[in-house]
Amino acid sequence: MSKRSLEDSEAVDVSKEARREAKRLKKGGKIKSGETSARAQPDLVATTDSGPLSKEERRASKKAKKEAAKADLAESAATSTAAASEDTEADAKAARKAARKAAKVEQASEATSTSNGHSSEASNGLAYNQDPALSALPQAEIDTFVAEKQLAIEDPKKQLYRPITNFKYLPVDEAQRAPFAKFESPTPIQAACWPYLLAGRDVVGVAETGSGKTLAFGVPCIRFIASLPKSQRNGIKACIVSPTRELAMQIYEQLVKQGESAGVKVTCVYGGTVKDEQRKTLKGTHVIVATPGRLNDFVQEGSIDLSGARYVVLDEADRMLDKGFEDEVRKIISATAPSGRQTLMFTATWPPSVRELADTFMSEPVKVTIGDNASGELRANTRIVQEVEVMTQFDKQNRLLELLKQYQSGKNKNDRILVFCLYKKEATRVEETIRRRGFNVAGIHGDLNQQKRTESLAAFKAGSVPVLVATDVAARGLDIPAVKHVINVTFPLTVEDYVHRIGRTGRAGQDGHAYTMFTDAEKGLAGALINVLKSANQSVPEELMKFGTTVKKKGHDAYGAFYKDTGDMKKATKITFD
Ligand SMILES: Nc1ncnc2c1ncn2[C@@H]1O[C@H](COP(=O)(O)OP(=O)(O)OP(=O)(O)O)[C@@H](O)[C@H]1O
C-alpha cells in the first residue's frame, strides 16, 4: 500500500468475485474539431424511447410484483404457522421457496425492463432527446465551440451528440436549474458529457482542475433519479465514491442543493466518525456519496444495499483505481446493479497505468477530454503560474517564511495560502513553525481527528484562517474559494498529485499561483515535472533541467510500467533515489 493510501484509506478484504469482471476493450471513433458534420443533421442524432419503461415491461413488472406479494403473504403465513406447529414446517419451507422464486422473477423482470425496451445507450432507463433548437444550430457554430474549448470526444458507438453549449438546451426541470442559475454557460466538460450521460452512456471525463466536473456528473445523476417513476425510486439508485472524506462532503453539499427541489435524498458516509450517527441518516437515501472504506463497511454489515445503484461515479478516478483503493473499488462496483449500470470516471489526470483497468468496469465508454490533450497526457491548468525553485532541504524553512511574509503583506494580508507537505509529521512541524512566527494557520492531515480536520477546512474556507498546512488529503477536488497561492514545501510522490495540489488555486476560470521547492531527493520526478511545466507554457529553471528529462511512467501492478523519454532535451546521466 502506498504512503498516501495508508493515510486516507481503510483496509478491507478483497472480493475475488469482483476480479472476474469482464474486460471489454473496444476500438472507437473520435470526434475532434472539424469532424462534427454528422451533428449538423438532426436525423443522424440518435434518440431513445421517451419513457423509462415500455407497456409490456410495466405489465411484466406488475405481474412479478403481484407474484412476489402473494409469496410474501404465503411466507409470513408459513412463518407464523411454523411457529405454532412443527408439522407444518414442510409447508413453510415450500412457501419460502416460492417467495424466493417470485423475488427472482421480479429481479429478472426489472433487469430486462432496463435493457430490452431501450437502445443500449439507455441501459439504466435514461432517455435523451437533443433539443431541436440545439440540432438547428449551424454546424459552424458547433465546430467553433469544439475548436475553441479544445474538446475531444471518443465514442465507440459514434452517437455524435452535440455539446450542450447553453443551459437552455439542457433537458432538466426548472427546479433542478437552481445550482447553476448563477453561471453564464456550461463549462466544456459539462457541455460535452451531459448528452452522453443523459443518454445513459458510460463516460470517462478528463478535464483540468477546477473545471466543473462535479456538476458534469451531478446534474445527470439527479435527473436520472428524478425521472424514475415513484414506484421505482425506493432504495439507493446512485453511488459516488471519492478518495477523501472532505471531498466526499463537498460533493454531497453540491448534490444536496440539486437534489432538494427534485425530491432526491442524498447522504454522505465517510470514515473517522461514529458509524451510528451515519446509519441513522441512511433511511430513504437515493444517492450515497462515500469514501470507499466506510461504504464497504456499511455494505458488508447490511446497512447499505447497493444492488439497485445504476449510476456509479468514481470521482478522482485515477486515484480510486490506484493500488491503495483498487480492491475496495472492485468490491463496491461488484455490489452495485449487475446490469443496466452506468459507470462514470472523472479526473484531471488520467495516467496510462489505470486506463485499461478502468475499461474493465465500463461498457463502451465515451471518452471526453478537454484541452489540447486528446491522448490524455498529464496537463496542469494553464491559468496557474507555476514557479519551481531548486534548493537544499536546509533552505526550505527560511524560504517558506520569506514567501509567507511576501504573500501576506499590505492589502494581501488575508490572502488564502495553501502549504503542502508530504508527511503528517512534517505538516505538524511546519504548521507549528509558521504559528510561532505569528501567522494565523491551521492544519489538515491524517494525524488529526476528523472534527479537527473539518474545523480547519471550514476556517480556511471562511477566511478566518488564511494559511492552511496540508498533506495530500487536501490535494484532490477541494474547491476552496480564492486560494491565491499554493506552496509545495515537499514535492508529492507523483507528478499527478502535483497537478492536483496546484489545482487548488486558479479555479473556475480564475488565475492562480503555485510555488514549488524542489530538491535533489525528488530528481526522479524532474522529467515529468518539466513536461508539465512545458505543456502549460511555464518557464523551466536551468537547475531543474540538470536533473535530466527521463520520465518514468508509473506502472500498475496488473499492467506494468514503461518508460518514455521526452527526447528533445539532454539525457539524464543516472538516477538514484535517496
Ligand atoms: N458552468 C459553470 N460556470 C462557472 N463556474 C462553474 C460552472 N460549473 C461549476 N462551476 C464552479 O467551478 C468550481 C470548480 O468546480 P468543481 O469543484 O466541480 O471542479 P473540478 O473540475 O471537479 O475540480 P478538481 O479536478 O479539482 O476536482 C466550483 O466553484 C463550481 O461552483
pLDDT in tens, 154-178: 999 998 899 999 999 999 988 888 8
**Residue carrying the nine cell digits 468475485:** 17
Q: Which of 8, 109, 122 is nearest to 59 (CA)?
A: 109
> Does the beta carbon of 503 lie inside 6 Å of ligand 1?
yes
CATH of the domain at 280: 3.40.50.300
Considering the domain architecture, whether residues 269 and 292 belong to the same structural domain is answered as yes
Instruction: Please give the number of the atom of ligand 1 that sits closest to the Cα of 216.
Output: 18
Is residue 532 a part of any domain in this protein? yes
Do residues 137 and 211 both lie within one domain? Answer: yes
Q: Ligand 1: which atom is nearest the Cα of residue 208?
A: 25
CA distance 284 to 265: 7
Q: Give the tens place of pLDDT for each residue, 505-516.
A: 999 888 999 999
The secondary structure element, H or E, covering residue 368 is strand 366-370
Domain co-membership, 315 together with 389: no
Task: Please say which residue of 370, 397, 425 terminates a domain.
Answer: 370
Distance between CA atoms of residues 51 and 117, nearest Å: 10
Q: What is the whole-number distance in angstroms between the Cα of residue 210 and the centre of ligand 1?
A: 5
Which range marks the domain in which residue 453 is found?
384-545
The count of domains in the chain is 3
Is the minimum distance from the CB of 180 to ligand 1 under 6 angstroms?
yes
Give 522-525 contacts, CB < 8 A, sequence gap 24+.
Answer: 522/491, 523/547, 523/548, 523/575, 524/552, 524/575, 524/577, 525/491, 525/494, 525/495, 525/498
C-alpha cell belonging to residue 463: 477566511
Q: Are residues 348 and 420 in the same domain?
A: no
Beta strands 151-155 and 29-31, pairing class: antiparallel
Based on the fold, state whether residues 53 and 77 are members of the same structural domain. Answer: yes
The reply to whether 98 falls in a domain is no
How high is the pLDDT of residue 348?
A: 92
Residue 436 placed within a domain: yes
Q: How many residues does the chain have?
A: 578
- Domain match, 246 and 349 both: yes
pLDDT in the model for residue 549: 78
Q: Distance from CA of residue 574 to its chain's centroid?
A: 37
Last residue of a domain, one of 340, 370, 400: 370
- 247-252 LR contacts (CB < 8 Å, sep 24+): 247/315, 247/316, 247/476, 247/477, 247/478, 248/289, 248/290, 248/291, 249/454, 250/214, 250/477, 250/478, 250/479, 251/214, 251/218, 251/289, 251/315, 251/477, 252/289
What is the per-residue pLDDT across 272-331, written as a single tens digit (0 to 9) for each?
Answer: 999 999 999 999 999 999 999 999 999 999 999 999 999 999 999 999 998 789 999 999
Residue stretches of the chain with pLDDT short of 70? 1-126, 373-374, 376, 552-578
pLDDT tens-digit map of 73-110? 333 333 333 333 333 454 545 555 444 444 433 333 33
Nearest protein CA to atom 25 of ligand 1, as residue: 209
The C-alpha atoms of residue 331 and residue 14 are separated, in whole angstroms, by 7
What is the predicted pLDDT for the residue at 21?
34
Which residues are 516's β-sheet partners?
Answer: 388, 488
As to burial, measured by CB atoms within 10 angstroms (0-12 exposed, 13-18 middle, 19+ buried), residue 436 is exposed
- Domain termination residue (choose one: 68, 87, 106): 87
Beta bridge partners of 344: 203, 313
Burial of 404 (0-12, 13-18, 19+ CB in 10 A): buried
* Separation between Cα atoms, residue 270 and residue 451, nearest integer Å: 12
Torsion of CA 51, 53, 56, 59, to 10 degrees: -120
Does 308 share its domain with 236? Answer: yes
Ligand 1 lined by 211 (C-beta under 6 Å): yes
Has residue 376 been placed in a domain? no
Give 214 Cα–ligand 1 centroid separation in angstroms.
6
Ligand 1 atom with the smallest distance to the CA of 187 is 1
155 and 29 share a domain?
Answer: no
CB atoms within 10 A of CB 180: 20
Q: Which three cell numbers stand for residue 486?
A: 499554493
Judge whether 565 lies within some domain. Answer: no
Task: Tell me which residue has cell 447499505.
Answer: 304
The 10 Å CB-count burial string (b at 16+, else e) for 485-520 is bbbbbbbbbbbbbbbbbbbbbbbeeeebbbbbbbbe
Give the per-residue pLDDT at 113.
29
Average pLDDT for the chain: 79
Q: Is residue 409 domain-shared with residue 324, that is, in the same domain?
A: no
DSSP type of residue 371 = S
Same-domain status, 413 and 514: yes
Q: Is residue 431 part of a domain?
A: yes
DSSP annotation of 72 = H
Residue 367 identity: K
Report whether residue 318 contacts ligand 1, using a CB cutoff of 6 Å: no
Domain membership flag for residue 150 = yes
One domain, residues 149 and 259: yes
Q: Are residues 162 and 48 in the same domain?
A: no
Residue 18, helix vs strand vs coil: helix
Predicted structure pTM score: 0.76
pLDDT at 89: 52
DSSP string, 403-472: HHHHHTSGGGTT-EEEEE-SSHHHHHHHHHHHHHTT--EEEESTTS-HHHHHHHHHHHHHTSS-EEEE-G
Residue 99 lies in a domain: no
* Whether the Cβ atoms of residue 510 and residue 526 lie closer than 8 Å to each other: no
Residue 508: CB within 6 Å of ligand 1? yes
Name the H helices within 261-350.
275-280, 292-301, 317-320, 323-335
